[in-house]
Amino acid sequence: LFPAVASGRAQVQQEPFLETTEGTGINITCSHTKKVSSDYIHFYRQLPGQSPEFLALTARGSKPLSDIAGSLSVSEDGSSSWLWLAEPRRGDAAVYYCALGA
């Protein structure tokens, strides 16, 4: 499951569930209509039986994430973001969280 995470004055929303087959790329999207330009989007993932792990953050644009073979992007108007996993493997199965903050 991908629960909604609230942070300060803003709220973010995610799909409740996503599924793909191994090796087939997937977008994990996050909606945050109250984002202001100084807010950063943070993405984390929690593998089964482990603590959440920080993946990346960005305020705008797109950045490649070589550690997980993907990228993190924020829409031009800042209302949404997405974590792209280009070739997910079985070991990438996790709960993915996005959060909004400084």
Each residue's pLDDT tens digit, 42-73: 999 999 999 999 999 998 899 999 888 999 99
Each residue's pLDDT tens digit, 78-91: 889 999 999 998 88
DSSP string, 10-49: EE-EE-S-----TT--EEEEEE-TT--TT-EEEEEEE-TT
Residue 55 and residue 45 in contact, taking contact as beta carbons nearer than 8 Å: yes
Residue 85 and residue 68 in contact, taking contact as beta carbons nearer than 8 Å: yes
Dihedral sign from CA coordinates of 62, 70, 67, 17: positive
| Stated pTM of the model | 0.80
pLDDT surpasses 80 at 97: yes
Q: Which domains are seen in the chain, by residue range? A: 26-101 (2.60.40.10)
Dihedral sign from CA coordinates of 99, 80, 96, 84: negative
